[in-house]
Homo-oligomer: A and B are copies of this chain.
Amino acid sequence: MIERKPTFSPTLDQKAATRVGQDMYGLISKLYPICRSMTGEGVRTTLRVMQERIGGLKIHEVATGTPVFDWVVPQEWSIRDAYIKGPDGRKVISFANSNLHVVGNSCPVHQSMPLSALRAHLHSLPDKPNWIPYRTSYFKESWGFCLSHNQLASLPEGDYEVMIDSSLTDGHLTYGEMLIEGETADEVLISCHVCHPSLCNDNLSGISLAVAIAERLSEFRLRYSYRFVFVPVTIGSITWLSINEGQLSRIRHGLLLANVGDAGKITYKRSRRGNADVDRAMQTVLRESGAEYSIIDFIPYGYDERQYCSPAFDLPLGCFSRTPHGRFEEYHTSADNLDFVKSEALAHSYATILTTIWVLETNARYLNLNPKCEPQLGRRGVYRAWAEQSDGGGAEMALLWVLNMSDGEHDLLDIAARSGMRYESIVKAMRVLTQCGLLSQPAVT
């Protein structure tokens, strides 16, 4: 039973927008210190914090060794502490200060070695001497530390004590999933990765945006069901796809959210199909936004669109970012921090996604029920009905376009594109005409 909620509207006043941006920033701040990795307690803790906001979020555990398509669920990595002590016995690097200091998935080590030998295990960024890089070593057993190049340069010769108290043991891969049920079983998939440690834009921003969207959608009656998936990148989406392979045909539209909090313009990367409804919807929303934006074609590189858009699935899923994957210099460094993401940018991303969802919710093909010549609009009170809706201008043209193009071949996005009118004017005309009995949705075939 779907409870009776109001129809979804994306409209947000300035005050509410500000508050949403601050809430998103707040969640990022809360999740920032947690040491996430592909598996382990970091992801679990993150998902539990998110549950405080979206109670419907379910935490799933998939056991080490489970086969998932061409892959196997890996062992679980745990880390308790790590440090390097200098020749004088003082800690020069401590995991407690920043979880970026330890190469992700490092095997345990505790030994003493001269700086000359230690260097092979130390990673820094000569071009960005104040920043700590983020490194992982998922596919071969090794260990390492990351530090700023300045600190590396200042290390005196001598013997160092290195300690990483970690373990790789059978356990689980953890992911979160939440379904907001709509009026149909057709789904919109919203996915983000949750495996990066203390990096804000990549991808605490995506997580906080998904949480805010889920909170908002829960308040409304929806046409589609919305499935939120929070997974470690690559192995997480592969695992999720493997488990849910039989249900994928329900997915009508999809969005991957990543890097949505920096000050750059929005970048949308199309689905592999290139002309999926979500691509057309996003293009319409961005074109009408008045803000600068960029739309790029699918390439089989990036985040989990690599899996969702693999040829056997080819899901209609695009990627929503501000400055995308690898295109900002703070990417995968300690500079992707709480200063790098902005609540205004988060709020703008939020509003853009909500509007896109509204377009997907409203877009459909309609049938003009009076297709022989124009109907007599005046005697039906159409203009009165129009006035009752929030204004948009161009009333008559929008009505005529919707009547003329609603032949069962063109959806509202097509009509907006061909008429050059704003999508919301087309929706308004559709509503007025439906109300007057001049338009209907075709029977589902």
Q: Does A219 contact B (CB under 8 A)?
A: no
Determine which of B234, B241, B370 lies in contact with A372 in the assembled complex, contact meaning CB atoms within 8 Å. Answer: B241
Q: Does A374 contact B (CB under 8 A)?
A: yes
Q: Does A385 contact B (CB under 8 A)?
A: no
Which chain B positions have C-beta within 8 A of A272? Answer: 404
Number of copies: 3
Verify B312–A400 contact, CB threshold 8 A. no
Q: In whole Å, how far is A157's beta carbon from the nearest beta carbon of chain B?
A: 36
Verify B404–A311 contact, CB threshold 8 A. yes
CB closest chain-B residue, reference A420: B299
Interface residue tally for chain A (C-beta within 8 Å): 41
Interface string of A234-246 (1 = CB under 8 A from B): 1001100110010
Determine which of B69, B306, B378, B400 lies in contact with A300 in the assembled complex, contact meaning CB atoms within 8 Å. Answer: B400
Verify A404–B310 contact, CB threshold 8 A. yes
Q: Does A334 contact B (CB under 8 A)?
A: no
Determine which of B301, B400, B404 lies in contact with A400 in the assembled complex, contact meaning CB atoms within 8 Å. Answer: B301
A411-439 interface (Cβ within 8 A of B): 419
CB closest chain-B residue, reference A298: B404
Verify B372–A245 contact, CB threshold 8 A. yes
Which chain B positions have C-beta within 8 A of A214? Answer: none
Inter-chain CA distance A375–B404, complex, in Å, is 49
Interface string of A389-419 (1 = CB under 8 A from B): 0000000110011011111000000000001
Which chain B positions have C-beta within 8 A of A116? Answer: none
Verify B404–A372 contact, CB threshold 8 A. no
Verify B71–A376 contact, CB threshold 8 A. yes
Verify A407–B372 contact, CB threshold 8 A. no
CB closest chain-B residue, reference A138: B378
Verify A69–B370 contact, CB threshold 8 A. yes
Verify A373–B404 contact, CB threshold 8 A. no
Verify A311–B69 contact, CB threshold 8 A. no
Verify B301–A373 contact, CB threshold 8 A. no
**Given that A139-B378, A378-B139, A400-B301 are contacting pairs, would A373 and B405 also be in contact in the complex, using a CB cutoff of 8 Å?**
no
Which chain B positions have C-beta within 8 A of A267? Answer: none
Interface string of A285-324 (1 = CB under 8 A from B): 0000000000000011100001101111110000000000
Q: Does A371 contact B (CB under 8 A)?
A: yes
**Given that A306-B400, A378-B139, A400-B306 are contacting pairs, would A371 and B301 also be in contact in the complex, using a CB cutoff of 8 Å?**
no
Verify A419–B376 contact, CB threshold 8 A. no
Q: Does A70 contact B (CB under 8 A)?
A: yes
Inter-chain CA distance A279–B385, complex, in Å, is 37
Q: Does A368 contact B (CB under 8 A)?
A: yes
Verify A373–B403 contact, CB threshold 8 A. no
Verify B376–A70 contact, CB threshold 8 A. yes
Verify A373–B300 contact, CB threshold 8 A. no
Interface string of A37-71 (1 = CB under 8 A from B): 00000000000000000000000000000000111
Verify A371–B310 contact, CB threshold 8 A. yes
Q: In whole Å, how far is A410's beta carbon from the nearest beta carbon of chain B?
A: 10
Q: In whole Å, how far is A130's beta carbon from the nearest beta carbon of chain B?
A: 30
Verify B375–A70 contact, CB threshold 8 A. yes
A-B contact pairs, 28 of them (CB 8 A): A69-B370, A69-B373, A70-B370, A70-B376, A71-B376, A234-B374, A238-B373, A241-B372, A241-B373, A245-B372, A300-B400, A300-B401, A300-B403, A301-B396, A301-B400, A306-B373, A306-B404, A307-B373, A309-B404, A310-B371, A310-B373, A310-B374, A310-B403, A310-B404, A311-B368, A311-B403, A312-B371, A313-B373
The 8 closest A-B pairs by CB, nearest first: A312-B371, A300-B404, A311-B407, A300-B400, A311-B371, A312-B372, A307-B373, A70-B375
